[in-house]
Chain A
């Protein structure tokens, strides 16, 4: 049996940090030690920030985004185009698109993709609320910004079927060569998709 070198409180902190994506037991130990060393400047404020987040974070009842208010900041922003909704799989995708800052639109977060292997069906996703949102009117375009995977595209086709007859324009993201991508290193599928979706130069 190995000897304990720290108290149970620190051990618990390390165990919890190790569950954070990107951290393993070793890096969690480093992070915990750093927090303990910077107790006043980092550990204290972090504890308060995490407590506040725990108390206030909620899921937006309109779009499924996470924020500290319901409806979320994006849904209540009057400068955003209400007639365009970007459908994303996850909040991380929403944040990625917001970092790009290419569209000033509203969002709808599905909460995953249809995945028979994981047992995720249409009822487990935020699809019903999307259909209701579009049916209420005022939406001209729905951009399906789901991943270019078979599961992502199955979800996109399923949503398109559900919205059939509601008179909304449905678009999807282009598939092709990424910025900085060298053709020699791209897979055949991406190359053929890029060639099919070529544009006039």
Chain B
């Protein structure tokens, strides 16, 4: 068995004295594990850090074996991200979300989004917007996607301001007004397209929205705790608002 693919490293653990078990998100083979012989050498360790983009060759005698990776670097992002708390927390949160998916199950859109987020991790606010979209995508891939396209009550496409915690569907401002206390706020930047950026409150609402559905559909049924790094990222994001005032709205590729 052998394949070649591009991947982004999301984790690793020691295996024996000289090797590593590498966890990567690949373009065509999903989240995949494999042994890297000599992965703990001085030459290989900088390459095998989470966040790095690598070219992979996977070999195993049988498909169900863990197999071995041969790794060549494409883009080394880890060193750029190490100094930023927000970037490191976001990276670990992304990895934790990807671990909710079954191994070896291809999720092309998640790989593409992951690559875009890693390129923007230096800017906590841009990373936050992209991370929230990534969380929506993960929920979708897990089968619990939210429907934010139109109002569940009236079918209206305008002024979608809430999400029903029951159905996960958007509700317009007018239709949701009587039940506003029971509905989850839907930030405008999630429905308005890539041109609009979220402010501090909008991002807070967005993370509360995805956090609610993760808790209900994923963490609670599986008996898991939400990743600590997500809370760490949100704290770092709060600090970024406190330390640097909001910048001018600008275009952001989603």
A97-105, A131-139, A185-193: which lies at the B interface?
Answer: A185-193
For residue A153, CB closer than 8 A to chain B, the reply is: yes
For residue B126, CB closer than 8 A to chain A, the reply is: no
Check B232 against A150 for contact (C-beta < 8 Å).
no
CA distance in complex: A157, B235 (Å): 11
Q: Is the interface of B mostly helix, strand, loop or mixed?
A: mixed
> Which of A22, A175, A188 contacts B82 (CB under 8 A)?
A175
Given the contacts A149-B49, A154-B89, A175-B79, A117 and B235 also touching, CB distance less than 8 Å: no
For residue A73, CB closer than 8 A to chain B, the reply is: no
> Which of B49, B235, B236 contacts A150 (CB under 8 A)?
B49
Nearest-neighbour CB distance to chain A for B96, whole angstroms, equals 6
Nearest-neighbour CB distance to chain B for A7, whole angstroms, equals 29
Check A192 against B82 for contact (C-beta < 8 Å).
no
Instruction: Provide the B1-39 mask, 1 if CB < 8 A to any CB of A, else 0.
Output: 000000000011100010001010000000000000000
Report the contact-size class of chain B (Cβ under 8 Å from the partner): 35 or more
> Which of A158, A160, A187 contacts B46 (CB under 8 A)?
A187
For residue B182, CB closer than 8 A to chain A, the reply is: no
Check A121 against B88 for contact (C-beta < 8 Å).
no
CA distance in complex: A157, B83 (Å): 9
> Which of A22, A115, A116, A188 contacts B227 (CB under 8 A)?
A116
> Which of B49, B89, B96 contacts A116 (CB under 8 A)?
B96
> Which of A154, A187, A190 contacts B92 (CB under 8 A)?
A154
Chain A residues with a Cβ closer than 8 Å to the other chain, count: 25
Check B79 against A188 for contact (C-beta < 8 Å).
yes
Check A118 against B79 for contact (C-beta < 8 Å).
no
Nearest-neighbour CB distance to chain B for A92, whole angstroms, equals 13
For residue B130, CB closer than 8 A to chain A, the reply is: no
Check A150 against B78 for contact (C-beta < 8 Å).
yes
Check A190 against B95 for contact (C-beta < 8 Å).
no
Among A117, A118, A149, A161, the one with the most B-chain Cβ atoms within 10 Å of its Cβ is A117
> Which of A22, A117, A121, A161 contacts B11 (CB under 8 A)?
A117
For residue B51, CB closer than 8 A to chain A, the reply is: yes
> Which of B46, B80, B85 contacts A157 (CB under 8 A)?
B85
CB-nearest residue of chain A relative to B44?
A: A187
CA distance in complex: A188, B11 (Å): 20
B228 neighbours in A (Cβ, 8 Å): 114, 121-122, 158
Given the contacts A116-B227, A122-B228, A154-B229, A149 and B92 also touching, CB distance less than 8 Å: no
Check A116 against B79 for contact (C-beta < 8 Å).
no
> Which of A21, A117, A158, A187 contacts B232 (CB under 8 A)?
A158
CA distance in complex: A118, B12 (Å): 9
CA distance in complex: A193, B82 (Å): 9
Check A148 against B95 for contact (C-beta < 8 Å).
no
CA distance in complex: A61, B160 (Å): 57
Check A160 against B79 for contact (C-beta < 8 Å).
no
Given the contacts A21-B17, A192-B79, A192-B80, A187 and B47 also touching, CB distance less than 8 Å: yes
> Which of A117, A121, A175 contacts B13 (CB under 8 A)?
A117
A-B contacts, 14 of them at CB < 8 A, read: A22-B17, A116-B11, A116-B227, A117-B13, A122-B228, A149-B45, A150-B51, A150-B91, A154-B92, A157-B236, A187-B47, A188-B76, A189-B80, A190-B79
**A-to-B contact residues, CB < 8 Å:** 21-22, 114-118, 121-122, 148-150, 153-154, 157-158, 160-161, 175, 187-190, 192-193
**B-to-A contact residues, CB < 8 Å:** 11-13, 17, 21, 23, 45-47, 49-51, 73, 76-83, 85, 88-89, 91-92, 95-96, 99, 227-229, 232, 235-236
Known: A117-B12, A189-B77, A193-B82. 13 other contacts (CB 8 A): A117-B13, A117-B23, A149-B45, A149-B49, A150-B78, A154-B89, A157-B89, A157-B232, A187-B47, A188-B79, A189-B49, A193-B79, A193-B83
- Nearest first, the 3 closest Cβ-Cβ pairs linking A and B are A189-B79, A157-B85, A187-B46
